[in-house]
Structure 1
């Protein structure tokens, strides 16, 4: 492995770790299916889980062989061919390691298991030595490996196993986790009410998926399978409601399954962990401390407290409801990126007289040099939807304090030149007023309209103007979206 590039080495390490994890889950499920008290439906669930884990096991082994195959020397075609691939040997080593671990646990109560432990360790040493020798022969070209593809078939011929992926219509999902009375439901309800999110309980989604798949107990499935079922239900809803841009899911109590969902969805899933002290949660619940502690114990047994290590956002929810809402708003409605457009007054489809007056105003303020940072026509001129006799000229000017007087003079000349052909609605601010983040409703609306504005930037050329404009107002306002303003 030391000879592999960093990317391949990390990929191999991750793949083998997941392979060993899957083998552990297979072992547990095969033990569970042998239970004498299981109903027919529970046995069927276990069988489905075993099939799914076996499919995942073979896929991971093939991925490991893809990396390990690069270690092999092409060599000659007549060198001896080994009976199995390197990943097959590693898979056997994984199963043998699990057998040792389970035997050592059973040795405290089973004499036969205790006697086997020493022999199992010997088998493991022999297998490790054989693997080392095989790798040396493969690298030196003294032995060839078979084709790694396993060509396994699971289910119907027309339903080959494939990794489920998020629908392109499933844009953003917020998953709320935390212990009892930490504010998960309060947070999800706020995001639903203010951002139009579609709100789901994880339990509801799992029950829906179980009913659809004919499963009696979805919680008995592996974390990976639960993640696939949840994502499948989210995909189905998103495809049927194409206007929904944000979803929330709660309550995240299982760190293993949410980690698998994160692997499937990537950044489209944002995990939000709400943290609060036990005393605060007891006070907010209005119930005895013992009741909250009992709920915590159940959730922690599933890994709820470990979700914090996986979270994209950890919110300290010991403060006010206003502080919580402010943080949720920043997460649920981040500021949208704005692509500014530069144009000339004659390229906006304005009447000739209005375009001429606008061009004169542009020339006047351009002459003021860097004292004027930005002049922008927003609304219908920028959108190309000007209607004579109806549309106004909404103008935003950002100027240094010392240039304000001259800008007022230019605005008055602009009004005179328009001669009543259009109404002028100017908004004049300094960079200092913007960086103070004290926005009037009108200014907030104007900044919102800038996304579709026609820009005239002075005194620099358009290419430099955008950098100037971003330096003067975009960066200081990056925390304010139109919705939050």
Structure 2
């Protein structure tokens, strides 16, 4: 199943990042560049780096100049994340291009890749909640609370995977159809963000 493959690769990416746990480290993607596995690994790597950037920027003692640099890095990361989602959706569009939707076929609230995006983020939540649930220097109460949250996250991962597989099956059978709206982010576009285009006048 596609979700099993995705979770396996997301976990591999998260583990690879945490070998050094450094937002500046270079990615070492083990998969062929043209493969969907390569895209999934890269997608999660971007998410994992951004997860830690979001931690760093919340340091109350952070230097304001450094915080601004991090904010701009996070903005670039968000754009890269969107790009990866669109690349993954392109994979699905190509995979199901021969499917003729039924006359009563419906559209889903999100594309397959945006659901996969949520599965990637969920993998990060599970990894870090597992860390907290087993943290040796935490109180027993903290570990127990985090274990309860971890159990819910694992259930959520199972439910989300089930929903994604059902969506893909429906698309393959023509019961649902894909429709992808590309590059609708406005704040990175100098022609759409008034702060940016006013500075160019």
TM-score for both structures, normalised by structure 1: 0.30
Separation in structure 2 between the aligned mates of residue 159 and residue 14 of structure 1, nearest angstrom: 32
Encode CA deviations 1:375-427: one digit per residue, 9 max, x unaligned: xxxxxxxxxxxxxxxxxxxxxxxxxxxxxxxxxxxxxxxxxxxxxxxxxxxxx
Separation in structure 2 between the aligned mates of residue 24 and residue 48 of structure 1, nearest angstrom: 17
Partner of 1:134: 167
Q: How far has the Cα of 1:9 moved from its partner? A: 9.6
Separation in structure 2 between the aligned mates of residue 71 and residue 77 of structure 1, nearest angstrom: 20
- Pick from 37, 48, 70 the counterpart of residue 61 of structure 2: 37
Pairing 1:82-121 to 2, within 5 Å after superposition: 82-107=108-133, 108=135, 109=138, 110-111=142-143, 112-121=145-154
Distance 1:62 1:156, change over 3 A: closer
TM-score for both structures, normalised by structure 2: 0.70
Q: How far has the Cα of 1:70 moved from its partner? A: 2.0
Higher Rg = 1
Q: How far has the Cα of 1:158 moved from its partner? A: 4.3
Encode CA deviations 1:337-366: one digit per residue, 9 max, x unaligned: xxxxxxxxxxxxxxxxxxxxxxxxxxxxxx
Structure 2 spans left out of the alignment, 5+ residues: 3-31, 194-201
Partner of 2:94: 70
Distance 1:77 1:57, change over 3 A: farther
Structure 1 spans left out of the alignment, 5+ residues: 3-7, 161-485
Distance 1:77 1:154, change over 3 A: farther
Partner of 2:24: none
Q: Is the 8 A contact 1:51 1:154 kept in 2?
A: no
Q: Is 1:24 paired with 2:48?
A: yes
User: Aligned pair count?
Assistant: 155
Encode CA deviations 1:133-156: one digit per residue, 9 max, x unaligned: 111110010111222414223435
Q: Which has the higher contact order (CA 8 A, sep 6+)?
A: 2
Partner of 1:61: 85
Q: How far has the Cα of 1:115 moved from its partner? A: 1.7
Separation in structure 1 between the aligned mates of residue 161 and residue 109 of structure 2, nearest angstrom: 17
The root-mean-square deviation of aligned C-alpha atoms, in Å, is: 2.3
Write 1 or 2 for the structure with the bigger share of helix.
2
Distance 1:153 1:159, change over 3 A: closer
